[in-house]
Structure 1
Amino acid sequence: TKEVTSGRRFLLLYVECLYSLSCRMHLWNALRL
């Protein structure tokens, strides 16, 4: 059960990081345009 929770937390962190990166790219494109 602990391993599952850890994996879930890692997945959430990964998704958050990816989302943040996507937002940053969008902001960068908006600033460039």
Structure 2
Amino acid sequence: MLMYYSYTPLFLLFCLALAASITFFNGLHN
């Protein structure tokens, strides 16, 4: 359980980076 709580911020950061990259590429194509 301790591992889960330590990896959660990294997972959220990964999701944020993924959303930012998708938005960035959509901006490039439009």
The structure number with the bigger radius of gyration is 1
Q: Same fold (TM over 0.5)?
A: yes
Q: Tell me how many residue pairs correspond in the alignment.
A: 30
TM-score when normalising by structure 1: 0.75
- Corresponding position of 1:10: 7
Identity percentage over the alignment? 13
TM-score when normalising by structure 2: 0.81
- Give CA deviations for 1:1-33 in whole Å, capped at 9, x if unaligned: xx53x3222000000000000000000000000
| Structure 1 unaligned regions, length at least 5 | none
